[in-house]
Amino acid sequence: MMAVKLYVPCDTTALAMGADQVVAALSSEAAGLGTELEIVRNGSRGLFWLEPLVEIDTADGRMAYGPVEPEDVRSLVEAGLLEGGHPHPLAHPLAQGLTDAIPYLQKQQRLTFSRIGITDPLSLDDYQAHRGFRGLKKALALAPQAIVNEVKGSGLRGRGGAAFPTGIKWQTVLDEPQGQKYIVCNADEGDSGTFADRLVMECDPYMLIEGMTIAGLAVGASQGYVYLRSEYPVAHRLFKLALERAYAAGFLGANVARSGRHFDLEVRLAAGAYICGEETSLLDSLEGKRGMVRAKPPLPAIQGLFGKPTVVNNVLSLAAIPFILDQGGAAYAEYGMGRSRGTLALQLAGNVRRGGLIELAFGITLNELMESFGGGTFSGRPVRAVQVGGPLGAYLPASQWDTPIDYEAYAAFGGVVGHGGVVMFDDTVDMGEQARFAMEFCTVESCGKCTPCRIGAVRGVEVIDRIRAGENREANLELLTELCETMVDGSLCAMGGMTPFPVQSVMKHFPEDLQA
């Protein structure tokens, strides 16, 4: 009899929800029954409310059960999970039907995340069976300028938050004289409410390796670094294993895919400083220094890591590259709206019933996202505020939930799309406390180089405390308004420059929460 083949994800969220214990329970049930069991530790599909999501291979396709807790395994087995040939879905409350037909997944446009959850993240065979390395093979046959042109044609803009056109950045580095150049991947995904970078590294690591290798070919860089946050131990472990295997199979090193071209890649662990997500601090940190922001110019593209021309791109920007080279920049640019081309990885988090990764062309509204995907709040209470774009993003009130998510449309009302994190809060939230936290976070994470950020944040916490205590309320509100303006206008980087955004949004849209 054929072994029963099951899939149990191995990403951080699945593990955090007990995936290893589920595997142990399944193995012990199978041993008790004398059933041969093959368990693939796949990546997560990003449907996090269903994790651990156990799938079984059937003649009709993969059938999903979730969220499976270790205690549910017995009843699933009793319903026939481990009986080869048993019809699926089983009569069981956790049955979700065919995984591919789950509406949350079916409604998405997965270009970058087309493989996650389907494949074993470390299997090179799986990767190549799902179009892996096709982009690299095309790039190897192209001149550097032709690769850069393809990326320009895709309209891809930096997915880390600043939304700078990726092709232009690559062009700048390509135009620098030949010599030592670097590709640096910013994997210091520090924004609360985001996990898309983590999913790439844990669930489809070869895609990032491929994207960075293509970047190296495009600009003439033979060395890449992934700067990964230390808060992601699972991503670190899996990505290091993927690097070893990519080297062993000849996709990295002195002779990339037997082309004679050279690209080395290394992962470096960060050390818990939010500011190192800012590209110039990141470079200082990689060089072994305190992660202090550099003044620009010079641009990193001209004087970056160790003073050499450097492409610094976010994980998601680099992860989009294999698709763009494989299927063409024009195919990517067909998605999206206005100047926001392609797809955006939205990450729905916080107080949400169905949180997870949602990859869609730009243009969906928050209302649609929160209702048709999120299914409302986890608590069942009404949504009161939504923070989009991480801790430096504004808190959006209901009146702004109908704006299509697009870089320009958000910028028009002072919002930021950022890295695509969407954190929902229900009506029990104290927005005064959230405003205070924005400033407090900046006191903890400011690099200290410029005064508006270093001192402004400390004063910001104090002034908000006075306002909330009812002390000289009007005068202190005016002071806070001016302080926010000073920080926005006078800070060296986005840390101090955007910390006021959540505060200003609370003052404007939730002033009642700043009463004593």
Q: Which of residues 33-52 bind other proteins (CB under 8 A)?
A: 38-41, 48-49, 51
Span 286-315, contacts to other proteins by CB under 8 A? 286-291, 306
**Cα dihedral 341→342→347→352 (10° resolution):** 90
* Residues of span 195-214 touching other proteins by CB under 8 A: 195, 197-198
Q: Is 443 among the residues that bind other proteins (CB under 8 A)?
A: no
Interface of this chain with other proteins, residues 223 to 252, rule: CB under 8 A: 230-235, 237, 241
Q: Is 424 in the site for other proteins (CB under 8 A)?
A: yes
Shortest reach from residue 274's CB to other proteins, in Å: 6
CB of 378 to other proteins, least distance (A): 7
Residue 273 lies near other proteins (rule: CB under 8 A): yes
Asked whether position 20 contacts other proteins by CB under 8 A, the answer is yes
Shortest distance (Å) from residue 148 CB to other proteins: 26
Tokens of 309: 């021309």
Show the tokens assigned to 446.
């400011």
Q: Does 122 bind other proteins (CB under 8 A)?
A: yes
Q: Which stretch binds other proteins (CB under 8 A): 117-125, 311-319, 361-369, 487-495?
A: 117-125
Of these, 4, 12, 483, 500, which contacts other proteins (CB under 8 A)? Answer: 12
Closer to other proteins at the Cβ: 87 or 233?
233
Among the listed residues 263, 441, 501, 510, the single contact to other proteins using CB under 8 A: 441
In sequence order, what DSSP letters do the residues of 88-101 get, joined into one string? SS-S-TTEEEEGGG
Please spell the DSSP secondary structure of 447-489, one letter per residue.
-SSSHHHHHHHHHHHHHHHHHHTTTTHHHHHHHHHHHHHHHHH
**DSSP labels, 39-51:** EE-----SBGGG-
Q: Does 215 bind other proteins (CB under 8 A)?
A: no
Cβ atoms 262, 222 nearer than 8 A: yes
413-416 contact pairs (CB < 8 A, 24+): 414/501, 414/504, 414/505, 415/388, 415/389, 416/161, 416/388, 416/389, 416/390, 416/392, 416/498, 416/501
Among 99, 171, 285, 491, binds other proteins (CB under 8 A): 285
- How many alpha carbons fall within 13 Å on the CB side of residue 304? 28
Between residue 348 and residue 377, which ones bind other proteins under the rule CB under 8 A? 348-352, 355-356
DSSP line for 11-34: SHHHHHTTHHHHHHHHHHHHHHHT
**Binding segment for other proteins among 95-103, 251-259, 271-279, 479-487 (CB under 8 A)?**
271-279
Question: Minimum distance between the CB of residue 317 and other proteins, rounded to whole angstroms?
Answer: 18
| Residues 128/203, Cβ–Cβ less than 8 Å | no
State which residue, 150 or 284, has the beta carbon closest to other proteins.
284
Taking CB under 8 A as the binding criterion, the range among 144-152, 266-274, 400-408, 492-500 that sits at the site for other proteins is 266-274
Q: Are 343 and 361 in contact (CB under 8 A)?
A: yes
Cβ 322 vs Cβ 211: under 8 Å: yes
Q: Confirm or reject binding of residue 270 to other proteins (CB under 8 A).
A: yes
Residue 237 or residue 339: which is nearer to other proteins going by CB? 237
Applying CB under 8 A, does 114 fall inside the site for other proteins?
no
Binders of other proteins in range 375-394 (CB under 8 A): 378, 387, 391
Q: Which of residues 54-113 bind other proteins (CB under 8 A)?
A: none
Exposure string of 392-412, with b = 16+ CB inside 10 Å and e = fewer, is: bbbbbbeebbebbbbbebbee
- The residue with tokens 């803009």 is 157
How many binding residues for other proteins (CB under 8 A)?
Answer: 74
Q: Is 499 in the site for other proteins (CB under 8 A)?
A: no
CB of residue 181 vs other proteins: minimum separation in angstroms?
14
* Binding of residue 193 to other proteins (CB under 8 A): yes
Select from 96, 108, 112, 194 the one that contacts other proteins (CB under 8 A): 194
Q: Does 137 contact other proteins by CB under 8 A?
A: no
Cα-based distances in Å from 336 to 7, 401, 427: 33, 19, 32
Separation of CA 368 from chain center: 20
Smallest distance, Å, CB 138 to other proteins? 27
Contacts of 164 (CB under 8 A, 6+ apart): 157, 158
Q: Per 3-state DSSP, what percentage of the chain is helix, strand, and coil (rounded to 5)?
A: 45, 15, 40
Q: Is 186 in the site for other proteins (CB under 8 A)?
A: no
